[in-house]
Amino acid sequence: MTAQAVVSPLADAALAALASVRDPELDEPITSLGFVASCTVSDDGQARVRLRLPTYFCAPNFAFLMVADAYDALTGTPGVRSAEVVLEDHFAGEAINAGVAAQAGFVGSFRGEAVAELHELRAAFLRKALMAGTDLVCRPLLSGGTAQEELREMTLGDVPSSAELTRLRRRRAELGLPAGDDAPLLIDPVTGKRVEAAAVPLHLRRARVTQTGIEANTSICSGMLAHRYPRSGGTSESGTTA
């Protein structure tokens, strides 16, 4: 997302809060993906955000997570007294917007259709993001001459600092898995245990395939969003309103 100039610290804080909200499948901020159509904050702290997605039929569970997370991010921002998050141009937008505003949860928002909240779905995508992050951290090491068997013996503390490593640690922490310097670099995304030596090649291939898939889906979604909203040029508005 390329935002227009933010005209107040509060609007700046609200936009920063939205940057912490990720598309669960793509593991990228909704701001950089262009999903935030506008973000305004009134002088008395009332935030209003409009969200848009690449297609009218984007999965409602994914959409709900992003709208709910955006609402939570905004209401947790110091100085924001209230928040309204509106998902536009989506077949389930009315149900999602009303459910998030009422804090009804996914089941309450889709009564008679949804049978469970989205905790396991969120965890599944975090595990997927963890595998993709493993590829982003390990690939440069392999290119630099580190052998696969050496990777298995490495800890996170052995890996040079990078944005990718920080992101990997964060995903592990969100799943309740080891994320400290003494944690193994290669772990099972479910159990958190060090990957067995014989399973390392397959583990690394899975990580690479996962990251490649995310990259492809991100490219597709970006193209579809640009085609759907050609006039916007992928930008969003932010600022304050009286």
pLDDT of residue 176: 97
pLDDT of residue 9: 86
What are φ and ψ of residue 152, in 5° steps? -60, -35
The strand pair at 36-42 and 46-51 is best described as antiparallel
pLDDT of residue 232: 56
**pTM, two decimal places:** 0.90
What gap in Å lies between CA 14 and CA 79, rounded to an integer? 9
pLDDT of residue 237: 53
Place of tokens 């999602």: 96
pLDDT of residue 7: 57
Where exactly does CATH 3.30.300.130 map onto the chain? 2-116+230-241
Angle of the 119-143 helix axis to the 200-228 helix axis, nearest 10: 110
- One DSSP character per residue, 21-68 reads -EETTTTEETTTTT-EEEEEEETTSEEEEEE--SSTT--HHHHHHHHH
Strand order in the sheet with 36-42: 2-3, 235-241, 36-42, 46-51, 82-87
- Mean pLDDT by runs of 10 across the 242 residues of the chain is 56 96 98 96 95 98 98 97 98 98 98 96 98 98 98 98 98 98 98 98 98 98 96 53 38
pLDDT of residue 212: 98
User: Which residues are bridge partners to 40 per DSSP?
Assistant: 48, 239
Domain 2-116+230-241 has CATH 3.30.300.130: yes
Which residue from 165, 169, 171 is spatially nearest to 136, judged by alpha carbons?
165
Place of tokens 């390990």: 138
pLDDT of residue 79: 96
pLDDT of residue 6: 44
